[in-house]
């Protein structure tokens, strides 16, 4: 009886395990993913080396369906996306590198986080607007200073920004506030120009 149960569980787990195929073995035709001429269901992946996964993505019936993940060489998650029938659907998040004084990666910090529903943002989002820039401008006296990261937090309903969107830094939790009505029209607030060095210097009042 025990042997029969063990065999049943083994076969069940084996049947439930997803096929894993390297991405360069998969092909795309007409928007669908194939493996050896057949519509693919399983996981496509890439490796940094024999032990560390770089990228993996779930497919169902030839379409992106489930989680897609990117990892750093240290095995840390740096990007998560979720799909349903090739459309964003579900949680997403991404992280950016922070560096120590020797310009070596010190840690990962949240860059963006939110949820999609049927391809549209839906729910609260948090996003770092300028994290890819990572600039250290030189001031008038020649002294290098570090620009604080600027984040925005707000709520979407079916792809439309609604209510209060808060721009903030670590030292200024209310750097700028923009308010939207239920149709996504700006009621009042300040639009931030976040192009490189003008991040904290150039803002303008929105006119309705």
Q: Tell me what pLDDT residue 16 has.
A: 52
What residues have CB less than 8 Å from 25, skipping those under 6 apart?
35
Tokens of 23: 């991405």
Q: Using one digit for the tens of pLDDT, what is the confidence trace for 187-208?
A: 988 756 554 333 333 333 333 3
pTM for the structure as a whole? 0.76
Question: How far is Cα 164 from Cα 128, in angstroms, rounded to an integer?
Answer: 17
**pLDDT per residue as tens digits for the range 48-68:** 998 999 999 999 999 999 999
Instruction: Report H helices in 60-125.
Output: none
91 neighbors 82 (Cβ within 8 angstroms) = yes
Stretch 105-127: mean pLDDT, rounded?
92
Q: Give the integer Cα–Cα distance in Å for 34 and 44.
A: 11
Where does the chain have alpha helices with state H? 2-16
Pairwise CA distance, residues 131 & 196, whole Å: 10
Q: What are phi and psi of 21, to 5 degrees?
A: -130, 135
């Amino acid at each position: 009886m025990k042997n029969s149960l063990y065999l049943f569980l083994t076969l069940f787990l084996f049947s439930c395990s997803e096929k894993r195929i390297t991405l360069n073995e998969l092909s795309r035709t007409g928007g669908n993913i194939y493996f050896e001429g057949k519509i693919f269901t399983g996981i496509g992946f890439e490796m940094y080396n024999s032990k560390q996964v770089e990228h993996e993505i779930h497919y169902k019936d030839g379409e992106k369906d489930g989680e897609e993940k990117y990892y750093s060489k240290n095995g840390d998650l740096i990007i998560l996306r979720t799909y349903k029938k090739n459309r964003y659907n579900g949680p997403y998040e991404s992280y950016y590198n922070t560096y120590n004084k020797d310009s070596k990666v010190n840690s990962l910090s949240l860059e963006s986080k939110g949820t999609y529903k049927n391809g549209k943002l839906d729910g609260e989002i948090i996003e770092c607007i300028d994290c890819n820039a990572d600039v250290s401008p030189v001031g008038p006296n020649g002294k290098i200073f570090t620009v604080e990261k600027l984040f925005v937090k707000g709520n979407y309903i079916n792809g439309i920004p609604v209510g209060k969107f808060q721009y903030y830094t670590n030292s200024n939790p209310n750097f700028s506030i923009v308010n939207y009505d239920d149709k996504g029209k700006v009621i009042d607030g300040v639009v931030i120009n976040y192009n490189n060095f003008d991040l904290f210097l150039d803002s303008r009042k929105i006119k309705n």
